[in-house]
Amino acid sequence: MEYYRIFFPYKYQSDLGWDDVLGKMMPKFLHAKNEEDFHLAMLELIESIDDSYASFYSDLTNFYFGNYWIPARFKLIDSKAIIAGFYKKAFADLDDLKIGDAITKIDGKDVQEIFLERKKYINGSNLSRKKLMAYRSIFNGSTNTVEIEFIRDGELVSKTISRYYFNDFMYSLDEPTETFKILDDNIGYVDMAKLEIKGVSKMMKNLKDTKAIIFDLRIGSEWTLHLISNYINSQEKDFFRVIYPDLSYPGKFIWRDGYTCGKNGELKYKGNVVLLVGEISHSRTEFIAMCLQAGDNVTTIGSHTSGADGSVSRFEIIGGYKTMITGVGIFYPDKTETQRKGIKIDIVYKPTIDGIVTEKDEVLERALDYINN
């Protein structure tokens, strides 16, 4: 892990200094009782750098968490796991699992207690990202059933539910949604995860007369940043700065200017622009958000993003096992970090339990309210 000491640009932002990390971790390596303990020590070491890119997987770490999954997706809110969707609804229906069920205990142990115990093994630059990435650390196990305690309609319920191999779900993230559309009150909406480079011109042509456009970056985005910025900027602007490793001086980094976005000239799209972001907004999507934020009339609404938008560096740890970390440092032009902090947000707004129960898109509703008022 000397690679980390030399090439990681955000050493100063980790919760623990590297010497403290090594002091904590070396005994775990030296006294590992078996190969699984050794692999878990590697996983904990890597996650100690507090970087959403940093990860380590092996058959033994997968075995530790368990290869059986419940058929439901969840969000960790207020020390509960709130069912927010399904990997396979038919399986969820067999155990009468419903969106909004607030699970408080798993096999007799509090959900929050499980999360805190396993947080050291979960990758993420910040707490919001770790809660998102806990998807396989909370409910997974080595048996095909698990006992849960949950709250539904104000009543506390206990039941045993089934778990499955993930492949049994035949799960796909792709949903038949429109790439862009016009909502009520003449407001444009763009699903940035679906918008391709070749579709930007058509999208802007169709939405050019709207009073506002909402660019939804909560799931992801293609490399459409420069094309879109040409419509929402009236001048060319810097939108980031970067630090690279100085290969002539190990451990030192060099400041460099980043790219610009937008063009000088008349503003092509004159309406308001709103960006939606959240904990799934990661890496490229955060970088694209930074570019669009440089526009003339842009407001960002949502919650803490992943906090990792530099390039990725991959390297070997030991015994052929590999990991990766953020390789270059990305900053706003004023040198504000994005690592761990995420991108700048003008209006912080998080989904609530009530919103999940009623299946409302509260962040989108907040954006519509902002535009109309």
Which residues contact residue 41 at a Cβ distance below 8 angstroms, ignoring those fewer than 6 apart?
Answer: 25, 28, 29, 32
Q: Is the pLDDT of residue 294 over 90?
A: yes
Contact 187, 214 (CB under 8 A): yes
| All structural domains of the chain with their residue ranges | 2-56, 68-169, 180-307+342-372
| CATH no. for 180-307+342-372 | 3.90.226.10
Domain 68-169: assigned CATH number: 2.30.42.10
pTM, entire model? 0.94
| Per-residue confidence band for 320, with pLDDT thresholds at 50, 70 and 90 | confident
Asked whether 55 and 313 are in contact (CB, 8 A), the reply is: no
Report pLDDT digits (tens) over 104-136: 999 999 999 999 999 999 999 999 999 999 998
pLDDT at 52 over 70: yes
Mean pLDDT of 58-67: 95
pLDDT given at position 239: 96
Over 80: is that where the pLDDT of 177 sits? no
Share of the chain above pLDDT 70, in %: 99
Give me the residue label for tokens 């698990």. 146
Say what the alpha-carbon torsion angle 79, 82, 88, 90 is, to the nearest 10 degrees.
120
